[in-house]
């Protein structure tokens, strides 16, 4: 017969570990919200926008095309944000480049999106890059990106010229630096009203932050 052992302390310790671990995961899930001391969303390049110019709130997204969390946000959360906040006229959505140095293929992707933007197809290329991220990150990047350009209907000689000229490289770097000055250090990050939110957040939290920004806008 095995010796009887009082398991109560063990269960308590196990519970503490479970609660601490759960809290750690939840804190990572919720993203981190910090208040920007003085709202300074300015940038020489305003970014690529979606939605109404008369929207009371602007959400600025800083993203990296090679960032998996950014792709997941675009695929899973962004459709909800667009249908519930952007398409209803409450929010104007702005995308700004923030290629991270740890992502070696991000510069090509950001350049391709900017070159597509020259032909009015930034958002189509944006979706191609995020939805097919696994393919171009792990495969023959340039060939695949050319394929996406063709798929979205770009004029290919102009696109290839833009790519080989590296036409927007300096502008992309400047946008990234401006983001860093605002306190952006990871992707995706969002500026919602006067809040900088680091990390992907669920739609409910977007709505709460937008409501707060709307109230602040009404009081001004």
Partner 1 sequence: MAVATLALFGFLLAMYLWLWKIGLLGGIACGTGSCEAVQFSEHAVMFGVPVAFFGVVGYLGLLVVSLVGLQPAWIDRREPAILLAAISGVGVTFSAYLTYLEAVVIEAWCRWCLVSAAIIGVIFLVALAELWTRARTEAPFTDASV
Residue 205 in contact with partner 1, rule: CB under 8 A? no
Among 12, 22, 155, 158, binds partner 1 (CB under 8 A): 22
Instruction: Quickly count: other Cβ atoms within 10 Å of residue 163's Cβ.
Output: 19
Rounded to whole angstroms, the Cα distance separating 114 from 119 reads: 9
Residue 75 in contact with partner 1, rule: CB under 8 A? yes
Residue 10 in contact with partner 1, rule: CB under 8 A? yes
- Candidates 118-126, 130-138, 152-160, 175-183: pick the segment binding partner 1 (CB under 8 A): 130-138
B/e letters for 20-55, b = 16+ CB within 10 Å, e = fewer, are: eeeeeeeeeeebeeeeeeeeebebeeebbbbbeeeb
Residue 29 in contact with partner 1, rule: CB under 8 A? yes
Binding mask 100-119 for partner 1 (x = CB under 8 A): --x-----------------
Residue 76 in contact with partner 1, rule: CB under 8 A? yes
DSSP letters, 167-189, are TTHHHHHHHHHHHHHTT--SSSE
Residue 2 in contact with partner 1, rule: CB under 8 A? yes
Q: Which of 180, 208, 206, 184 is nearest to 196 (CA)?
A: 184
φ and ψ at residue 91, rounded to 5 degrees: -130, 140
- Candidates 33-41, 133-141, 146-154, 211-219: pick the segment binding partner 1 (CB under 8 A): 133-141
Q: How far is the CB of 162 from partner 1 (least distance, A)?
A: 27
Which strands, in side-by-side order, build the sheet including 91-97?
32-35, 195-198, 189-192, 57-63, 91-97, 48-50
Residue 62 in contact with partner 1, rule: CB under 8 A? no
Contact (Cβ atoms closer than 8 angstroms) between residue 139 and residue 108: no
Rounded to whole angstroms, the Cα distance separating 84 from 91 reads: 9
Binding mask 157-196 for partner 1 (x = CB under 8 A): -----------------------------xxx--------
Residue 31 in contact with partner 1, rule: CB under 8 A? yes
**CA-based end-to-end distance of the chain:** 75
Contacting positions for partner 1 (CB under 8 A):
1-2, 4, 7, 10, 13-14, 17-18, 21-22, 24-25, 28-29, 31-32, 67-69, 72-73, 75-77, 102, 133-134, 137-138, 186-188, 198-202
């Amino acid at each position: 017969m095995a010796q009887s052992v009082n398991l109560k302390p063990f269960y308590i310790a196990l519970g503490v570990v479970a609660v601490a671990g759960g809290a750690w995961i939840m804190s990572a899930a919720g993203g981190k919200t910090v208040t920007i001391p003085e709202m300074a969303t300015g940038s020489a390049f305003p970014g690529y926008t979606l939605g109404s110019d008369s929207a009371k709130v602007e959400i600025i997204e800083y993203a990296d095309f090679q960032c998996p969390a950014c792709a997941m946000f675009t695929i899973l959360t962004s459709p909800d944000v667009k249908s519930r906040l952007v398409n209803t006229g409450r929010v104007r959505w702005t995308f700004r480049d923030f290629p991270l140095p740890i992502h070696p293929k991000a510069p090509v992707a950001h350049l391709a999106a900017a070159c597509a933007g020259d032909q009015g197809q930034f958002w189509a290329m944006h979706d191609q890059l995020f939805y097919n991220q696994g393919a171009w990150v792990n495969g023959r990047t340039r060939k695949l990106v050319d394929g996406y350009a063709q798929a979205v209907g770009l004029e290919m000689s102009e696109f290839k010229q833009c790519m080989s000229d590296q036409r927007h490289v300096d502008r992309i770097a400047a946008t990234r630096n401006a983001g860093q000055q605002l306190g952006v250090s990871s992707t995706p990050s969002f500026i919602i009203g006067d809040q900088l939110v680091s990390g992907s957040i669920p739609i409910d939290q977007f709505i709460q932050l937008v409501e707060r920004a709307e109230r602040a806008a009404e009081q001004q």
